[in-house]
Amino acid sequence: MADERCRITVVGERRRVDIAVPAHAPITEYATMLADMCGQDESDAMPPAWSLAPAGRPPFEPGASLGTAGVVDGETLYLRNVLDGEFDGPVVSDIEEEIAALEDDVVMWNARSRAYTTVVLGLVVLAGAAVALAAGGGAAGAVAAGVPLFATGLAAPLLAWSAARKHWPVPAAVRTALAAAACPLLTGAVLALPLSGLGARLAAALAAALIGALAAYLAAPSAPTMVLLAGCGLALLLAVPLVLVRANPTEAAAAVAVVVFHVLAVLPRLASQVATLPPGTTEMDDVAGTVRRVQRLLVLLNTACCLAIIVCLAVLSVSDGWFALGLTLCLGVALLCRASSSRLTAVVAALLLCGLAGLGALLLRVPYRLSGLDLPGWSGPLALTIVGVIVLWAGLVMCFRSSLQQVDFGERWRWPGSFAALLGAVSVPLAAGVFGVLQALLDAGRGL
């Protein structure tokens, strides 16, 4: 909003409008114009008082501005009448009727919930059998247990497909779980084979998981099965080259961390595409529900990626190589900077936790890595304690500042996002250094 205008998308009952409005002018000055552009219905008996609201949140005060509300360029807002329900009469509810309605719902324990729970428990038992069989390491005679497990893995998506096609009394969530069970069941069955070598077992397991995920998506096309298919595909694409080059744990962690960090940049667009599966209605009434699905899916994907990065940074931080430690520092700072590009609290919290975990693990390694300075072992925890106190103090100061109404937090710094992209680009050669590519080039240069 450098030009004092905020570019937003306004959604009404009939139309949506992309428009630039004054960032610091009261919403009431242009709300009526937006209502006319979106074709909102108005009543002469009770003229509406229009305002704007984010998805799933109450409308802003008509006298407030988008700048003070913290709205940034590109946001989608919805026209809302702040007088809705203002003159509604009292609502009288019968407690017994409310309880009876709850008893018919799946929230209460009844015959339907008992049936659904039994199906899910059966899937959990089968998944446990697959894990136990895979942990056996292809022992002699394990194929006898793998054959029925493999057959069950093939039958699960077929049952889910039949349930949807023939309208069985099975809810969509249970059908999705039934179809997704093919992934762990086929993986466990394949690992029962007497395969020798870690590379062969890993390739077979990931191939079976990808086939199971594909069968699950074809049987029950939905956001969870689509995410499962994408995750298995990405894992296979990462694992095959790492197995071929015989990467050690540090090298594998470097490759996975860099790839997953760059995946974080495309998660918002990926979530918006996946959340519309299967295709739904395009009516404006369903826009809010679609936005909520996108937000939930984005939080789930972001959390999964952050957990993977935390594991990789933990492996890199215990390495003795300077490139691995530099990559840990680079990705830790990049994650902290990327957190400023999101407005979802859960996404920001996951990114901050991931970045701080990597930097904290690196800080604890400093006394052991810089042995020439004769630093005591407790200097790392002491430095981490000081950093924690500083962050805590900064948070308390921000709490007091946010309570002041005159403070405007609408403007956001743009440089952290660009700096995170720069650090992401720097992480690629650092990962190559972990694999020894840069050292090999230096050795080749010295030999010329």
- Determine contact, residues 182/148, Cβ cutoff 8 Å: no
Encode pLDDT of 38-57 as tens digits: 877 766 556 678 888 887 78
**What residues does 19 pair with on adjacent strands?**
8
The answer to whether the bond into 429 is cis (omega within 30° of 0) is no
Domains, the chain, in order of start with CATH, read 5-81 (3.10.20.90), 113-236 (no CATH)
Question: Residue 279 CB: number of other CB atoms within 10 A?
Answer: 7
Q: Which residues contact 178 (CB under 8 A, 6 or more apart)?
A: 119, 123, 156, 157, 159, 160, 163, 170, 220
Encode pLDDT of 131-166 as tens digits: 888 877 666 667 788 889 899 999 999 999 999 898
Encode pLDDT of 414-433 as tens digits: 778 888 889 989 999 999 88
Q: Which residues contact 38 (CB under 8 A, 6 or more apart)?
A: 10, 11, 12, 13, 14, 15, 16, 17, 79
Encode pLDDT of 62-114 as tens digits: 888 888 887 877 788 888 887 765 555 566 666 666 666 655 555 567 778 88
Cα angle 92, 95, 96; round to 5: 130
DSSP 344: -
Model confidence at 339: pLDDT above 90: no
Record the tokens describing residue 41, joined without a space: 């219905």
Encode pLDDT of 251-286 as tens digits: 989 999 999 999 998 888 888 777 666 554 444 445
Q: What is the distance between the alpha carbons of residues 265 and 34, in angstroms, rounded to a whole number?
A: 32
Encode pLDDT of 350-395 as tens digits: 999 999 988 888 888 777 766 666 677 677 788 788 888 888 888 7
